[in-house]
Amino acid sequence: MAKKAAMSDTETNALRALPSVAALLRDPDIQATTSLSPAGLTELLQRIVAEQRTALLAGQRATRAEIRERVLADVTRFERPRLGGVINATGVIIHTNLGRAPVSPETAGAMASAAASSVALEIDAETNQRGGRMQEVSDLMRLLAGAEATLVVNNNAAAVLLVLSALAAGRSVILSRGEAVEIGGGFRIPDVLRQSGATLVEVGTTNRTYAKDYEAAMDDQTAALMKVHPSNFQVTGFTYAASVEELAAIGAARGVPVIDDLGSGALVSTAPFGLRPEPTIADSVRSGAAIVTASGDKLLGGPQAGLILGRRDLVNRIAAHPLARAVRADKTCLAGTARTLRHYADGTAMARVPVWRMIAATSQEVQDRAERLCARLSHPSAVVPVSATVGGGALPGETLPSAALALDASQVDSGSTDALARRLRTGETPIFGRIEGHRVLLDLRTVLPEDDEALLTAVEVALRPTGSDRL
């Protein structure tokens, strides 16, 4: 008993610094910080106080003032929207961890108004009869890529799974060894094939696969010949990959369709910008792919979506599969995808779609912006030449010449590059750059010019000596 009482004393001592939830609720600084209802704030404070209690009992020492500071910091952190906009100064245009393609203001507007109101999603306004929710995107894709029909789903991973489930379950799909790839985030083509209920028949070798390899593997179980864009890696040297045309010719003789997973799915060529030409969606359709799948938020530059397009009879079969309902696109995605496609239809894609604005900017333009910003920074910094990349699994190994603001961390506070990068990421306008040696590099190619002022302000705040930005 005596021992237990002694423990209790220690505990009581340790917990002396712990404020009560009731006291914190009355704290004017906390009241001024929070947007929560009294009930919500009580709930949050109970959780925070319990965490502080555990820390004190574990032997951490803290004064009452220090604990109050921590509570205030936690309440402040809770207020910060986690999905607010950030500035991508990484030099990777389609950055998956930063949400991939930002959309044009027109697309964002179309998505916001679709979200805020009812939408004639499945009613034809002319006839008041039930109409297809895919009609607008389908009409646009027909114009832009020559596809008979289009179905939009949640993302391209869902598109590939759905297509294989609807067209190949219980049968086999022939794929080159060199294209049995992992796209990222654990999305592996052989696993997806298995999940769909189809059997994978791998042909050829890692570096060379000919049309005759597919032909030799075909039998009455063959549901499709498949091509997958290798996306995030490159095989160079002694290589050969049968083209969509070649496969389409072989398939046609036996009535077997070609499925082409393009991944990035550009509608315009990357060639005029000094990049290797990516096959466009129209190229694939023209080459005879019966079904093409592509992401909406890579080189297309729209919201997250998966596009399934091609032969009408096959698209109808895919749309009728039970999984189609489970992965279907919502009204905001459809409105955003359609609005993005209109940029290509009316010729404004290069001027309005952010991904293409970033690709199309000349290196001189990027350099000039970097120098103008650098000259206005109160802190000594420099402009350095860097290489930006497209990202998003498009054009691995290809780079675009760019310019970066190089912020020298040794001139700031602790001199720690990590600390400076962290301050840039956690400011009011968060900026994500990259660290190179003792410098944080902010690549201007992936920053839209209209964000230059916000970037400058945020950099100034991050470079200020610690303490002066704490109030």
- What is the footprint of ligand PLP within residues 341-370 (CB under 6 A)? none
Rg, C-alpha atoms of the chain: 28
How far, in Å, CA of 98 to CA of 340, rounded?
20
Task: Tell which one of 68, 95, 227, 229 touches ligand PLP (CB under 6 A).
Answer: 229
Among 87, 183, 218, 334, binds ligand PLP (CB under 6 A): 183
Question: Rounded CA gap, 139 and 143, in Å?
Answer: 6
Closest separation between CB of residue 312 and ligand PLP, Å?
Answer: 23
Q: Does 156 bind ligand PLP (CB under 6 A)?
A: yes
Rounded distance, CA 345 to CA 140, Å? Answer: 7
- Quick one: three-class SS letters along 252-281? HHHCCCEEEEEECCECCCCHHHCCCCCCEH
Query: Applying CB under 6 A, which of residues 251, 391, 393, 433 lies at the interface with ligand PLP?
Result: 393
Q: How far apart are CA 208 and CA 466, in angstroms?
A: 58
Using alpha carbons, select from 241, 239, 244, 283 the residue that is nearest to residue 260. 244
Least distance from ligand PLP to the Cβ atom of residue 165, Å: 15
Residues 6+ apart with CB under 8 A from 277: 269, 270, 271
Nearest residue to the partner ligand PLP, using Cβ: 263
Cα–Cα distance list, 152 to 115, 186, 321, 338 (Å): 17, 22, 14, 10
Helix axis angle, 38-57 to 64-79, nearest 10°: 130
> In the complex, what is the shortest distance from the CB of residue 238 to ligand PLP, in angstroms, rounded to a whole number?
23
The secondary element (H helix, E strand) that includes residue 12 is helix 2-14
CB-based burial, 182-198: b 16+ in 10 Å, e otherwise: ebeeeeebeebbeebeb
> Which of 323/377 has CB closer to ligand PLP?
323
Q: Which of 215, 261, 283, 451 binds ligand PLP (CB under 6 A)?
A: 261
- Count of chain residues binding ligand PLP (CB under 6 A): 15
- The minimum distance between CB 434 and ligand PLP, in angstroms, equals 22
* Chosen residue from 231, 284, 340, 429 binding ligand PLP by CB under 6 A: 231
228 lines the binding site for ligand PLP (CB under 6 A): yes
Asked if residue 257 binds ligand PLP (CB under 6 A), the reply is: no
Nearer to ligand PLP, 172 or 293 (CB): 293
Q: Which residue has the tokens 């072989």?
A: 250
Residue with Cβ nearer ligand PLP (264 or 367): 264
Binding range to ligand PLP, per CB under 6 A, among 170-178, 228-236, 353-361, 431-439: 228-236
Interacting residue with ligand PLP among 178, 251, 257, 263 (CB under 6 A):
263
Of 147, 209, 149, 152, the C-alpha closest to 178 is 209
Stretch that binds ligand PLP, among 118-126, 149-157, 204-212, 431-439 (CB under 6 A): 149-157
- Give the one residue of 104, 165, 287, 295 binding ligand PLP; rule: CB under 6 A: 295
Least distance (Å) between residue 57 CB and ligand PLP: 45
Establish if 278 lies at the interface with ligand PLP (CB under 6 A).
Answer: no
Which positions lie near ligand PLP, rule CB under 6 A? 155-157, 160, 183, 187, 228-229, 231, 261, 263-264, 295, 306, 393
